[in-house]
Amino acid sequence: MTTGKSLAAAPPRAAASLHDPEGFGEVFDTYFREIHGYAAKRLGRDAAYDVASQTFLEAFNKRHRYDEARAGVRTWLYGIATNLIGKHQRSEVRGLRARARLGTAADRAEGHAERVDDQVSAEGLRGALADAIARLSQGDRDVLLLVALAELSHEEVAAALDIPYGTVGSRLSRARKKVREALGGTNPMLDLEDDHG
């Protein structure tokens, strides 16, 4: 399953807007919701806003270092977000382990739409699956979740994480194997991560 978004999928003026402090808002408007959604799936809603905001602050501060020939704006932003998520690794692992123990306990104070959204997002991170993902190395987990949650291609993951293309394949294969073993030979994420290379 692919989203049709590739290294060249940036809106025509997005790269130009990235370099222009006045036009950076276009990049923010185009990608904030997507980056926030990815961070929410990795860390939960509370940390997601902080990580997404920090991603765009860091992108703005490092916009002069962006190389359009190396990666699309979207891919570059996912790389920044994934690095920031890595800094929250201990919280992420604790959260995944808590989900493994608690399942999908919805916060009663949230509105119905938020609970439904949480339940849909949590379907892929429940119980044994959450525990299996939490036990992966950070590198393997980052690759697996960029493919499964952000729907990045292998090429985009390599660019986002600044790792060789072949490393993406080996990390993804290793992560899938460990998750399957932890789940008794099944892989509920198969539909989400197939054919992204």
Structure tokens at 71: 């990666």
Do residues 157 and 139 lie in contact, with contact meaning Cβ atoms separated by under 8 Å?
no
Do residues 168 and 176 lie in contact, with contact meaning Cβ atoms separated by under 8 Å?
no
- Work out the burial of residue 102: count CB atoms within 10 Å of its CB; fewer than 13 is exposed, 13-18 middle, 19 or more buried: exposed
Q: What is the pTM of this model?
A: 0.67
Architecture of domain 12-87: Orthogonal Bundle (1.10)
Q: What is the pLDDT along the chain (197 residues), one digit of tens a residue?
A: 444 444 344 454 566 667 777 788 888 999 999 999 999 998 888 889 999 999 999 999 998 888 888 888 999 999 999 999 988 766 666 776 777 676 545 444 445 555 555 554 445 456 778 888 889 999 999 999 999 999 999 999 999 999 999 999 999 999 999 999 988 876 555 544 454 45
- Compute the distance between CA of residue 152 and CA of residue 143 in angstroms, rounded to an integer: 9
